Structure 1
Amino acid sequence: MKIKSLFLGLMITSSVSFAQVKTDSLFIVDKVINDSIATKSALTEKSPIRASLYSAILPGAGQLYNKKWWKAPIALGLVGTGTGFTIYYNNLYKKYRKAYIAVREGTPNEFTGILTAQQLAVIQDDYKRKRDYSVALTALVYLLNIVDATVDAHLFSIRNDPEMTFKPTVLQDEMTLEPVLGLAFNFKF
Structure 2
Amino acid sequence: MFFFLLIASIASAQQDSLLVSQEGRSKRELKKEQREKDYEPYNALAPAKAAFYSAVLPGLGQAYNGSYWKIPIAYAGLATGVYFYLENDKQYDRYREAYKNRLAGRPDEFTVDGNTRITNDGLIRAQEFYQKNKEISILVTVGIYVLNIIDANVEAHLRQFNVDEDLSVKPNFDFDALSGKTNYGLTLNYNF
Is TM > 0.5 for Structure 1 vs Structure 2?
yes
Give 2:106's aligned residue.
107
Flag structure 2 segments of 5+ consecutive residues without an equivalent. 1-35, 168-187
Q: Does 1:148 align with 2:157?
A: no
CA deviations 1:94-152 (Å, max 9, x no partner) are 11111111112211121223222111111111111111111111111110110110111
Give 1:117's aligned residue.
120
Alignment of 1:1-189 (within 5 A): 40-41=40-41, 47-112=46-111, 113-158=116-161, 161-163=163-165, 188-189=190-191
State percent identity of aligned pairs.
37
Structure whose CA Rg is larger? 2
Q: TM-score by structure 2 length?
A: 0.60
Kept after mapping to 2: 8 A contact 1:46/1:66: no
Give 1:180's aligned residue.
none
Q: Could you say if the C-alpha distance between residues 75 and 45 of structure 1 is closer, same or farther in structure 2, counting changes exceeding 3 Å?
A: same
CA deviations 1:15-54 (Å, max 9, x no partner) are xxxxxxxxxxxxxxxxxxxxx99x9427x77712221122
| Distance in 2, Cα, partners of 1:161 & 1:45 | 17
Kept after mapping to 2: 8 A contact 1:62/1:149: yes
Kept after mapping to 2: 8 A contact 1:46/1:154: no
1:163 to partner: Cα distance: 4.2
Q: Could you say if the C-alpha distance between residues 142 and 40 of structure 1 is closer, same or farther in structure 2, counting changes exceeding 3 Å?
A: closer
Q: Could you say if the C-alpha distance between residues 131 and 187 of structure 1 is closer, same or farther in structure 2, counting changes exceeding 3 Å?
A: farther
CA deviations 1:157-186 (Å, max 9, x no partner) are 11x532478xxxxxxxxxxxxxxxxxxxx9
